[in-house]
Structure 1
Amino acid sequence: MTDIVIVGAGMAGLICAQQLTQAGYSVLVVEKSRGLGGRLATRRLYGTWADHGACYLKPQGELFGNLVQLLCDRQILEVWKNPHQPDSAPRYIAPQGMNAIAKFLSAGLQIQLNQRVTAIHPTPENSWCLTLESNAQFTAKALILAIPAPQALTLLAPLGEAILGREFIDNLSSVEFHPSISAIAGYPATSQPLPDWTDRKFTDHPVLGWIGLDSSKRPHPQQPVFVLQSSAKFAQQHLETPDLEPVAKDILQQAARSLALPWLETPDWMQVHRWRYAFPSSPWTNPVLSASSTIPLVCCGDWCGGYLAEDAMISGLAASEEINHSLRQLPVPNMNVLKLFSE
């Protein structure tokens, strides 16, 4: 038995876990993937690494700005300079990869990776029991699902309205996502002259959504590396395609034509990733979504109140407040992320 289990080790889950751990609760974070971060995703490959999820942070509010400044002070983030817009609002990147943010946020937490939750049910002792793919089980006095709403719905729907409440299930069901396909491509160091831009965004393009020169984020890059993100419409068309390599080649071909860079079609190497839940198209309107169950249960994530990493952080903080209110109401760090990492 632990006080709180959090499913999902992205920004929302890690921030929430830090708040509740600092308050004095026993907290276990369970993550189905091999690594931390969710969409703060970095893939290591061919002697380098590339961000194929969230590619930069652009803080808007003071709270997230404080976290970004802290990460800059710890030399985890730095400004990604845009030569064409030197006076624009700064964008922040992680030279060691965006998942370095998640690694920093995970310090001191109890986390189990490669653990997929397959079932959730209440116990006679008024707690939640989580069953894993390995048939292991955990019990907790409170549960937080910091995962995309459709994944949360798959786990929670079997509990039914009698336990969770009809309004909660309807609200969870209303959240929808756009998919995306990310292609990572590396090129010879002797390629044609590189463009003078760091990234380009495409509006209303049938295939392309964004392209970034990912290697421009890295210290002493050995070769040019680009990350390309598809449009939502194109990703939807190929969401169930078993072999994504031809799909990625199509993305590169479209970029080569649109940007007049024909050599983009012929990379040294290429990898592709499918994001089924990339961007909330119909997010929940509030920072958290709470069930009406007698045992505390809260959902949070970037789909609560927005779609950015900043929204995920705010949602994680709000979820910690909600759960704390439902349990022992211990003193928490007053939604001040700087206090979490002051030592």
Structure 2
Amino acid sequence: MNDVVIIGAGIAGLVCAQQLSQAGYSVLVVEKSRGLGGRVATRRLHGTWADHGACYLKPKGELFTSFVELLCDRHILATWNELQPNATPRYVAPAGMSAIAKFLAQNINILLNQRVTEINLTPEKSWRLTLESSNEELTAKALVIAIPAPQATMLLNSLGEDVLGKEFLTNLSAVEFYPCISAIAGVPPSSHPLPTWKAHTFVDDVVLGWIGLDSSKRPQTQQSVFVLQSSANFAQLHLEASDLQPVGHKMLKYAAQALELPWLETPEWLQVHRWRYAFPRNPWQHQVLAAQAELPLVCCGDWCGGNLVEGAMLSGLAASVEINNVLNQLVLPEENFLKVFI
């Protein structure tokens, strides 16, 4: 029996796990993917790596700014300024953005490559989770669901209104996301000069939302690597494509023409990734969404408030407070959240 099981090893889930674990609860994180971080994702390929999810951080609040400063002190993050002298600094991870998640995952029990297929409430008053790959079952006194709201809806609907409450399920199912398609392209060494910019944002464009010279984040890189992110409408048109390679080439061709970089059309290699739940379109207005259940069940993530990585961190902190209030009311290290890493 675990005190708390957290589904999802994104930023919200890992922050929540750290808080509850530091307070003294037995915590287990279950993640369906083979890596940590959720949208804070890095893909290793062709002797290098590229951030195909969140590409940089731009902190606003005091706590998240302190967290970014700590990561800079640990040489996990570094500034990635544009050429404009007075631009607000952006922060990137030279070893890949997933390094942030690995930092947060210190001393946390995590099961990777394990998809939760079913959740039930047992007669003994505990949550029972069934895992897909092993038919193994986990039990917990409390649950934190730290995955995109549509995925949470699919997982929790079978419990029904009698267990979770009608209002909770209605609010959860109302949260929607914009999709995105990310293309990673390796450009061969050539005599063509690279653009003077490190990143370019497309405003209200039909195809692209953003392009960045991802290799400019990396020390001593041997190849130029670009990451392109599509517009939401373009992603929606191609989201169900069985082969995403032609979709990625279409994005590259469009960028090559729009930015007058003809050599961008013919990369040495190309990888394409679809994000069904990239950016919250209709976020929940609070930092957590709690069920009206007999046992604690709380949802959290960047869709609670909708402020991307920073919002995910704050949501994870709020979820730990919510769970703690219902369980043993132990002393959470929230005010000293960063001290455990110092």
- Give the alignment's TM-score, normalised by structure 1: 0.98
1:88 aligns with 2:87: yes
Q: Partner letter of residue 113 of structure 1? A: L
Give 1:165-314 correspondences, 5 Å limit: 165-314=165-314
Correspondence for 1:133: 132
1:117 aligns with 2:116: yes
Q: Partner letter of residue 99 of structure 2? A: A
Correspondence for 2:69: 69
What value does the CA root-mean-square deviation take over the aligned residues?
0.7
Q: Partner letter of residue 30 of structure 1? A: V
Q: Partner letter of residue 92 of structure 1? A: Y
Q: Partner letter of residue 74 of structure 2? A: R
Say if 1:186 and 1:268, in contact at 8 Å, map to a contact too.
yes
Partner SS state of residue 64, structure 2: helix
Say if 1:317 and 1:335, in contact at 8 Å, map to a contact too.
no
Q: State how far apart, in whole Å, the 2-side matches of 1:259 and 1:125 are.
A: 62
Q: State how far apart, in whole Å, the 2-side matches of 1:307 and 1:254 are.
A: 29
Alpha-carbon distance, 1:337 to partner: 2.4
Partner SS state of residue 314, structure 1: helix
1:48 aligns with 2:48: yes
Q: State how far apart, in whole Å, the 2-side matches of 1:142 and 1:170 are.
A: 21
1:164 aligns with 2:182: no
Q: State how far apart, in whole Å, the 2-side matches of 1:63 and 1:280 are.
A: 22
Correspondence for 2:337: 337
- Give the alignment's TM-score, normalised by structure 2: 0.99
Alpha-carbon distance, 1:89 to partner: 1.3
Q: Partner letter of residue 24 of structure 1? A: G
Q: Partner letter of residue 90 of structure 1? A: P
Partner SS state of residue 188, structure 2: coil
1:103 aligns with 2:102: yes
Q: Partner letter of residue 78 of structure 1? A: A
User: Which stretches of structure 1, 4 residues or more, deviate above 4 A after TM superposition?
Assistant: none
Alpha-carbon distance, 1:190 to partner: 2.0
Q: State how far apart, in whole Å, the 2-side matches of 1:89 and 1:212 are.
A: 17
Q: Partner letter of residue 124 of structure 2? A: E
Structure 1 gaps of 5+ residues are: none
Q: State how far apart, in whole Å, the 1-side matches of 2:201 and 2:335 are.
A: 34
Say if 2:81 and 2:88, in contact at 8 Å, map to a contact too.
no
Give the number of aligned pairs: 341
Alpha-carbon distance, 1:191 to partner: 4.8
Q: State how far apart, in whole Å, the 2-side matches of 1:301 and 1:191 are.
A: 45
Correspondence for 2:5: 5
Say if 1:76 and 1:95, in contact at 8 Å, map to a contact too.
yes
Alpha-carbon distance, 1:307 to partner: 3.5
Structure 2 gaps of 5+ residues are: none
Q: Partner letter of residue 57 of structure 1? A: L
